[in-house]
């Protein structure tokens, strides 16, 4: 499913914590990893060589860490900005997933991969795993990461769109790979329903419940031991985040809005705000191009 993966690094402790947290990707078929680092200095040749000389030993250390987990690893150092170079490489190498780290609300990638999270998420063209990082001690910060654990339940959020349907096929493959407990959640957006469609809410409840049960049946046939369905009425982001805090979830999977001609549409999207607020790693699946 995720046989070839790019892992983005800024050669910091934070990116090393991300690397530690993806050692179990082998369960999803990962065999080869490209360790990616962007310099962001395309036109400054002298500085480029200096930065490469500084970065290479640290990248080799992270490479050795990944190899100790059993992966085949190569290193790619790019000149230009992180997002542009990252997705260009992902397309060229035809990888099945990209992994990045984030500190959450600020999405300040100065401690993750040297670019901006907004740009990377906005340009998404491959499945993107966003690993949440945190520092518990403000005086002497120590970076931790929320790691994937297939023994914990997986939360799949759907709006029944085509992109959500595509994301669900990844959940099915994860179940086939060993995930046994999945929670399916759909949130009826009250901001859209309240004003004009409240009289149809009973009808929506019936239809949406049937849709969730159909997804549940598909997962049980794929080998899931347990699949729960949750139907909520409210603000999608709030309800998804609230549910993510109700149980010890390992991962949130959902469709990503992807590139939009209207920038604010992306910034206000459910996927963007779940990434900003979730404590767990989030796997975003982009729409088919």
Cβ atoms of 66 and 19 within 8 Å: the answer is yes
Strand ranges for 10-56 from DSSP E: 32-38
Q: What is the mean pLDDT of each run of 10 residues along the chain (289 residues)?
A: 92 83 88 89 53 82 94 91 90 95 51 55 90 65 70 95 95 96 96 89 96 98 97 96 95 76 50 88 90
- 128-135 vs 72-78, strand pairing mode: unpaired
> Residue 13 has what pLDDT?
78
- The reported pLDDT for the residue numbered 238 is 95
Q: What angle do CA 284, 129, 159 make, to 5 degrees?
A: 20
Q: Which residue has the tokens 């179940």?
A: 175
Could you give the CA distance from residue 149 to residue 143 in angstroms, rounded to a whole number? 19
Q: Model's pTM, two decimal places?
A: 0.88
Asked whether the beta carbons of 280 and 132 are under 8 A apart, the reply is: yes
Residue 18: per-residue pLDDT:
87
Q: What is the pLDDT of residue 263?
A: 42
In order of start, what are the domains of the chain with their CATH numbers?
4-145 (3.40.50.620), 154-257 (3.40.50.620)
Question: What is the pLDDT at residue 229?
Answer: 98
pLDDT of residue 249: 95
Q: Distances in Å between the alpha carbon of 15 and those of 9, 33, 38, 58, 63?
A: 5, 14, 13, 11, 12
Dihedral sign (CA 151, 20, 15, 13): positive
The span from the CA of 122 to the CA of 108, in Å, is 15
SS (H, E, C) 44-101: CHHHHHHHHHHHHHHHHHHHHHHHHCCCEEEEEEECCCHHHHHHHHHHHHCCCEEEEE
How many helices and strands, by DSSP H and E, does the chain display?
Answer: 10, 11
Copy the structure tokens of residue 167. Answer: 């994301």
Distance CA 286, CA 44 (A): 34
pLDDT at 144: 64
pLDDT given for residue 89 in this prediction: 96
* 103/275 Cα distance (integer angstroms): 10
CA distance 114 to 107: 11
């Amino acid at each position: 499913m995720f046989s070839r993966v790019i892992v983005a690094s800024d050669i910091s402790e934070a990116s090393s914590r991300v690397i530690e947290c993806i050692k179990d990707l082998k369960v999803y078929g990962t065999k080869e990893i490209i360790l990616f680092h962007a310099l962001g200095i395309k036109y400054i040749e002298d500085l480029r060589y200096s930065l490469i000389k500084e970065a290479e030993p640290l990248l080799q250390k992270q490479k050795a860490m990944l190899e100790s987990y059993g992966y085949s690893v190569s290193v790619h150092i790019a000149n230009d900005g992180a997002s542009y170079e990252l997705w260009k490489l992902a397309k060229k190498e035809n990888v099945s997933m990209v992994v990045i780290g984030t500190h959450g609300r600020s999405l300040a990638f100065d401690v993750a991969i040297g670019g901006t999270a907004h740009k990377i998420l906005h340009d998404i063209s491959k499945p993107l795993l966003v690993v949440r990082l945190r520092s518990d001690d403000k005086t002497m910060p120590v970076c931790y990461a929320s790691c994937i654990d297939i023994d914990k339940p997986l939360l799949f959020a759907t709006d029944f769109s085509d992109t959500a349907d595509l994301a669900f096929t990844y959940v099915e493959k994860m179940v086939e790979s060993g995930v046994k407990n999945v929670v399916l959640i759909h949130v009826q957006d009250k901001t859209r329903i309240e004003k004009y469609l409240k009289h149809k809410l009973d009808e929506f409840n019936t239809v949406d419940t049937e849709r969730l049960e159909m997804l549940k049946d598909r997962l049980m046939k794929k080998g899931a031991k347990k699949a729960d369905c949750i139907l909520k009425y409210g603000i999608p982001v709030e309800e998804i985040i609230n549910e993510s805090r109700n149980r010890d979830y390992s991962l949130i999977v959902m469709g990503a809005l992807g590139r939009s001609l209207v920038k604010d549409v992306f910034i206000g999207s459910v996927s963007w705000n779940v990434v900003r607020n979730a404590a767990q790693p989030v796997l975003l699946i982009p729409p088919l191009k």
